[in-house]
Amino acid sequence: MLTAAALCPAPPLLARELTGADPVVPELRQACLDAATDLLHSDPDVIAVVGAGEQTRAFGARGRLDLAAYAPALALGRLDGNWPAEHDGGAPDGGGALLPLPLGLGCRLLDQAGYAGRLALHTVSDQASAADCAALGARIAGPAARVALLVMADGSARRGLKAPGYLDERSLPFDASVAEAIRAGDMAALLALDAGLAGDLMATGRPAWQVLAGALDGPRPASMIRYSDDPFGVAYLVATLWPQHEAMPT
């Protein structure tokens, strides 16, 4: 039974260390933390984290986020004395296998929100069909236990001339349709997203959104959008959704 779902983007810069001395996007990090905190407040027995990956598979909960892959200097261990005061600590749970970025960032968000309970980590293949994604979502939400879902998913990376993928004007209506589906709780609209178009637009979150839709199958959920912007040409959407049988906090 799903208690709540949170939607966050998964850019590397969500990790505070990676942007250097300047926090750059503190409001984005705060919105993600708030959304993760919503999941804790939904009193789950387990939190599932889902992000797009090369294949659909589960990961062990003791995995490790390798930020040094993005910033090799972090591995030198020399930055500590010269780090800004708001630096928020290292990667979660060293020692385990490497986690894909969306799962590692999701685990870190939950850790920062103060969650120390059970985790279930899944990647969903970027080749997976909408039906397969929805089926995975239904399986995740299906158990008798109270399950909260953290979906790490990004919109188009082609939202401007300086965007990572350069400008594709189709990105604007595409991302707007995703945001509207989340706002309205219209899961059918998420399942109807065109995977080919999403690929063209570098919208890597497509399969994860469709897992979300499968997990929230049924009456339209309530939602709260906490952040929706594209400061670097990539659409970041942060939101929390509550199934109708769960009370949305006031």
Partner 1 sequence: MTDRLAPAAQQSVLRLGNRAFPPGQPIVMGIVNRTPDSFFRPAVTWDEAAAMDRVHQVIADGADIVDVGGIPAAPGAEVDVAEEIRRTASFIGAIRSAYPNVVISADTWRHETGRAACEAGADLLNDSWGGYDPLLAEVAAELGAGLVCSHAGRQSPRTRPFRVAYGDVMADVLEHVQSLAARALAAGVQGDRIVIDAAHDFGKNTWHSLEVTRRLAEMTATGFPVLVSLSNKDFVGETLNLPPEQRLPGTLAATAICAWHGARIFRVHQVAESRQVVEMVSAIRGDRPPARAVRGLA
In the 8-state DSSP scheme, what is residue 198?
A: H
Q: Scanning residues 168 to 197, which ones bind partner 1 (CB under 8 A)? A: none
The answer to whether residue 85 forms part of the interface with partner 1 (CB under 8 A) is: no
Stretch that binds partner 1, among 47-55, 66-74, 214-222, 242-250 (CB under 8 A): 66-74
Q: Are 238 and 7 in contact (CB under 8 A)?
A: yes
Q: Which is nearer to partner 1, 143 or 165 (CB)?
A: 165
Q: Quick one: which H or E segment has residue 110?
A: helix 101-112
- Residue 123: CB partners within 8 Å, gap ≥ 6? 50, 51, 52, 53, 54, 55, 56, 57, 59, 100, 102, 103
86 touches partner 1 (CB under 8 A): no
90 forms part of the interface with partner 1 (CB under 8 A)? no
Neighbours of 204 (CB within 10 A): 23
- Taking the complex as a whole, the smallest distance from the CB of residue 249 to partner 1 amounts, in Å, to 31
CB burial class (10 A; 0-12, 13-18, 19+) of residue 144? exposed
Please report whether residue 165 would count as binding partner 1 according to CB under 8 A.
no
Can you tell me which of 100, 106, 207, 233 binds partner 1, judged by CB under 8 A? 233
Using CB under 8 A as the binding rule, whether residue 100 contacts partner 1 is answered as no
Residue 250 in contact with partner 1, rule: CB under 8 A: no
20 is an interface residue for partner 1 by CB under 8 A: yes
Region near partner 1 per CB under 8 A, out of 10-18, 35-43, 123-131, 207-215? 10-18
| Interface positions with partner 1 (CB under 8 A) | 11-13, 17-22, 24, 70-71, 73, 76, 78-79, 81-84, 157, 164, 231-234
